[in-house]
Amino acid sequence: MLITYRILTILLWPWIFVFSLLIPGAKNFLKTRKEDKRKILSYPFAPKAQKVVWLHAASVGELDQCKAVALVYKKKEPETFILQSVFSDSVRDSSLEAFPADLKFRLPLDFPWSYDFILDKFSPQVLICMAWDRWPNLLLAAKRRRIQTILASAVITVPKGFLKRKFYKAAFSLFDKILTSHSSGEEKFKELLGEKKNIKTLGDSRFDSVIQKIETSQREFKRPKNYPFSQVFLLASTYEPCEKLLLPLLQEPSLKNTSFWIFPHKTDPTRITQLESEIKSFTSDYTLYSRTEFNSISSRVILFDVLGILAHAYRAADFAYIGGALHNRVHNVLEPAYFGLPLLSGPRITHAPEAIELNHRGGLFIIRTKEEVLEILQLSSERKEAIRFSNRQFVETGRGAAERIYSEIVSHAETQRRRGF
């Protein structure tokens, strides 16, 4: 299966080159990676002068997982040189530049020859991927150089179909060790790879990133002074399907004392203008966050059109809807869970073990209709308090995952060294 994959990637290269000439998005994608390659090659680095660790994240969520582990390395081994790569263009350049690593870059496309210039120059001792990310040519290149390969905070969706299962098995078998985020993931990986595979549950390092982000922030976020609504329903990372379901609730008489704070997934001017029009079709009592001093707002609907506020705004809410799962997949549920909020989400949560666990505990509700949302927003104070305790406790159980992952990696490396590998 891996040989087939390598052959297919080689055959695919000419077509990608053609697409890059015809499609602007593909051209920019490759251009960024060419620029990063020049940056890497020109970077002043003495080979084998210090220990090197390579962390890789697929997207924004996985970058949070990497951050927690990187901070542990910086604390325990300040002299260790850290490489951080990402793949998705959803990771903003500013987020990547602010990451606590020595060198940050976009991962090349997964061709057999793509990584030699990185591995030859830096000779990392360990390559750590997060969650579900597995690039066979990258892992094969690392193994040829006897680099320790780790999948941390690991999750897996059980593959359906013979070929997909065979590919998953071949790709995930390339990791020396798989450190799962939850015990259910450990069971699924062992079912796929066999009981002898080195698999252990140590938790999800994203918990540490979320906790650290909230607890070290100096920012206080409170409701506007003399705010006239007794209950705040916060809508996080919303898309059009989310708003189509939830905005009609503005006309429900039973929710007249409930305000709606809306944080759309995208905040570009076109999207905000479109969303303003949708809100106006249900109510004129709304305010755009950037246009008014927040503490003076008295509107029932507040549309937040700036970034960097959401994680703090949960502190002032009573309920939180987490977007994405009506049409694709749920976004981050850990931040609102930290504040103990009852959570609402669409049904597509299978990729997120933390959302599944919160649902099993009764703190996250799957909703598909207005009626289901109404029922949840009218929970008794006793039920809300029980959920607050349960959700907060769940987040606490994940504290320290990054430290555990670090210790396991160091221990494994020491064991391999003693064995002469």
Task: Please report the pLDDT score of residue 420 as a whole number.
Answer: 61
Q: State the total domains in the chain.
A: 2
Same domain, 263 and 392: yes
DSSP conformation letters of 26-44: HHHHHHHHHHHHHHHHHS-
Same domain, 260 and 321: yes
DSSP conformation letters of 42-57: HS---TTSS-EEEEEE
Same domain, 272 and 390: yes
**Residue 126's domain is classified under what CATH number?**
3.40.50.11720
Same domain, 113 and 193: yes
pLDDT digits (tens, 9 = 90+) for 209-240: 999 989 988 788 999 999 999 999 999 999 99
The band of 415, judged by pLDDT with boundaries at 50, 70 and 90, is low
Residue 109: is it exposed, middle or buried by C-beta count within 10 angstroms (0-12/13-18/19+)?
middle
Sheet holding 364-366, edge to edge: 286-288, 301-303, 258-264, 231-238, 319-322, 343-345, 364-366
The question of whether 79 is a catalytic residue gets the answer no
25 occurs within a structural domain: no
Which one is predicted more confidently, 230 or 417?
A: 230
- φ and ψ at residue 44, rounded to 5 degrees: -75, 110
Position 28 pLDDT exceeds 70: yes
331 occurs within a structural domain: yes
Which one is predicted more confidently, 24 or 117?
A: 117
Same domain, 262 and 371: yes
Task: Please report the pLDDT score of residue 2 as a whole number.
Answer: 86
Task: Please report the pLDDT score of residue 419 as a whole number.
Answer: 63
pLDDT digits (tens, 9 = 90+) for 36-84: 999 999 999 876 668 999 999 998 889 999 999 999 999 999 999 999 9
Q: Is 391 left (phi over 0), alpha (psi -120 to 50) or beta?
A: alpha
pLDDT digits (tens, 9 = 90+) for 83-115: 999 998 888 888 898 899 999 999 999 999 999
| 326 contacts 306 by C-beta, under 8 angstroms | no
Check 35, 62, 195, 354 and give the catalytic one: 62
18 occurs within a structural domain: no
CA atoms in the 13 A half-sphere facing the CB of 163: 2
CA distances from 344 to 317, 319, 321, 370, 393 (A): 13, 8, 5, 12, 18
Question: Three-state DSSP class for 146?
Answer: coil
Structure tokens, 327: 């049409």
Same domain, 363 and 405: no
Give mean pLDDT, residues 147-174. Answer: 92
Structure tokens, 87: 């793949």
Q: Is 45 left (phi over 0), alpha (psi -120 to 50) or beta?
A: beta
**Residue 315's domain is classified under what CATH number?**
3.40.50.2000
21 occurs within a structural domain: no
- How far is Cα 344 from Cα 367, in angstroms, rounded to an integer? 7
Burial 303-334 (b: 16+ CB within 10 A, else e): bbbeeeebbbbbbbbbbbbbbbbbeeebbbbb
Same domain, 171 and 265: no
Return the residue matching tokens 């020859």: 113
Task: Please report the pLDDT score of residue 23 as a whole number.
Answer: 83
Of 345, 351, 337, the C-alpha closest to 393 is: 337
Instruction: Find the domain containing 170 and state its range.
Output: 48-203+400-419
Position 286 pLDDT exceeds 80: yes
| 353 contacts 401 by C-beta, under 8 angstroms | no
263's CB contacts (< 8 A; 6+ apart) are: 234, 235, 236, 237, 238, 304, 309, 310, 313
| 103 contacts 126 by C-beta, under 8 angstroms | no
Same domain, 243 and 282: yes
Position 345 pLDDT exceeds 70: yes
Position 416 pLDDT exceeds 70: no
The band of 321, judged by pLDDT with boundaries at 50, 70 and 90, is very high
Same domain, 167 and 238: no
5 occurs within a structural domain: no
